[in-house]
Every structure is written in structure tokens, then in C-alpha cells.
Homo-oligomer: A and B are copies of this chain.
Amino acid sequence: MFNKVVIAGVGLIGGSLGLAMIRRNLAREVVGVDPAAENLALAERLGAVHRAGVLAEVLPGAELFILAAPIGVTLGVLEMAIPYLTSGTIVTDVGSVKGRLLERARKMVPEGVYLVGGHPMAGLEVAGVAGAREDLFEGASYVLTPDPHTHPLVLDKLKKLIQGIGANPVEMAAGDHDRAVAAISHLPHLLAATLVNTVTAEPNPDQLLKLAGGGFRDTTRIAASNASMWRDILLTNRDRVLETLRQFRGQLEEMEQAIENFDSQQLVYGLERARNVRAALPENRTYLKKR
């Protein structure tokens, strides 16, 4: 159990972390910090934090400091926090990109403060603390990116917390994480948005959208996510995203060639390969079942 936990940024992720930690008795005190006063008030009312505070007042003596602000402002929040961080505090973030962010953060944090990157692989297309839920992380992978200097006890504490909120801790090097999420998370977002834009560029988009069935809805659901957050993620992970896009284009060309050439065998091979992998992927997310 953590003593005092400070969460900077009580949106969907920060709020859900707070909710889970409070309801599951994983922290004695959870304090929320957020530039939007109405966000903070709502977080308090929802029980996502015990109380609201400001960095200068709440950070000294905190056992855990979670940077849960949008990725574009994470380093700015850390910068503001630096003067008030005291020795022994564990600092972690929830950013979708780890390499560059952590490199810079590592240069900022003072001696005696433990920094370990984190990334819960959970989310919803809704934003804000209003959508926060205690079970958001249930069954999800939660990546930690320790480096050789990470203290084993610190890593252990974070892993216990992650298990406590129902998620599965996965240790990876920051660079491996960034390459992985480019393919498994950033590429899907890009494709979903591009698919919607392709349909709306057609001559009669309203009639087309009227025909949309469950397939189109599922495939494009994440295109409803916050645009500026995803711009920041895609640009922060630019090189990996461009690389995975190149891979995707190669695969798409193979499918296109098969259709172009009426190559039934090649086409069914590509579809079947995907089918086998996707059908074997468990639908084990609690929050999906509840919706």
C-alpha cells in the first residue's frame, strides 16, 4: 500500500487510476492536481481522488507521483513539479510514447527520486474524468520501462500496484515499447481516421454512413478519440509510426495485387492468416463486456 499518491492530470486515465487505488485500498491518500478546476471538483465528487491540491503543497513527502497529463504537456508538468519533489518519491507517467520522453525526464529529476516509465494499454474513445472507471485496467497489459539503474524494490512496488488494479505488468525496454505501440496502437488510430476520411470524401457520404454496419462502427470507433492528443502521440513517435506505416503499405499492396490479379489463393491466404490470429485473441476486457 502506498502512503501519499499524487496524480497530475485527472482525466480518463488519471481518474481511473485514482478510482481503482481508492476503492481497492491501494493508497492511503490520493491527491489530484489539474489545471482545470471543474475537472478536479468532478474527480473529487466521483471519488477518483480524496482531495485536490497544488504541486508545491502536496508533492513533498509523496510516495508516488503519477504524471497523467496529456503527453504533449507531460514534460511541462514535470518541470513545474521538480522544485517540490523530495528524496524517495517514485515518479511514473502514463504516456503512450516512452523513449524520447523518458530520456528528457531522466535529465530533469533530482538525485534520490526514482523515475520509471509506465503505459497502461487501456483507454476509451471518451475523454475526461467523467468516463473514468475503476475497472478500466482490468485484464489490460500495463507496460513498465525500467532501465538498468531502476531499483528492484521500486519496480516491485509498481508491479504490485498494477496487479492491484487488475492489470498485467509487462516489462519492456522503452525503445521496444515505442516500436510495439506504433504497430498495435498508433497505426490502428491512423487507419481508423483515414478510413472515415475516405468514406467522407466519397460523392454521397451521408448515404454511405447510413449503410454503416457493425463492421464499420467497430473498425472506426477509435477515430472518435481526441484529435490533439493523438496528434501529439503520432508526432512524438514519428519515426516508429512512419516505419510501421511502410510495413502496412507493403502488406496492403500484396492484398491489392491479389485482388487486381484475381489471385484467389493469395487473397484467401492473406485473409485466413489474419483470421487465425484475430480469432485467437481473447476478448477479455471487463469494460468491453459491460458496455
Chain A residues in the interface with B (C-beta under 8 A): 121-124, 140-141, 143, 168, 170, 172, 176, 179-181, 183-185, 187-202, 204-205, 207-228, 230-231, 234-235, 238, 241-242, 244-245, 247-249, 251-252, 255-256, 259-260, 262, 264, 267-268, 270-275, 277-279, 281, 283, 285, 287-289, 291
Task: List the B side residues contacting A202 at CB < 8 Å.
Answer: 179-180, 183, 247
Task: List the B side residues contacting A252 at CB < 8 Å.
Answer: 190-191, 194, 245, 249
Please give the distance in Å from A172's CB to the nearest CB on chain B.
8
Residue pair A209, B288 in contact (C-beta under 8 Å): no
Tell me whether A200 and B247 are in contact in the complex, defined as CB-CB below 8 angstroms, given that A227-B268, A259-B234, A259-B241 are known contacts. Answer: no
- Copies of this chain in the oligomer: 2
Residue pair A207, B221 in contact (C-beta under 8 Å): no
Residue pair B255, A211 in contact (C-beta under 8 Å): no
Task: List the B side residues contacting A275 at CB < 8 Å.
Answer: 193, 223-227
Say which residue of B121, B209, B242, B281 sits within 8 Å of A281 (CB atoms).
Answer: B209
Q: Could you tell me the distance between the alpha carbons of A208 and B202 in the complex, rounded to whole angstroms?
A: 34
Tell me whether A121 and B255 are in contact in the complex, defined as CB-CB below 8 angstroms, given that A195-B191, A244-B198 are known contacts. Answer: no
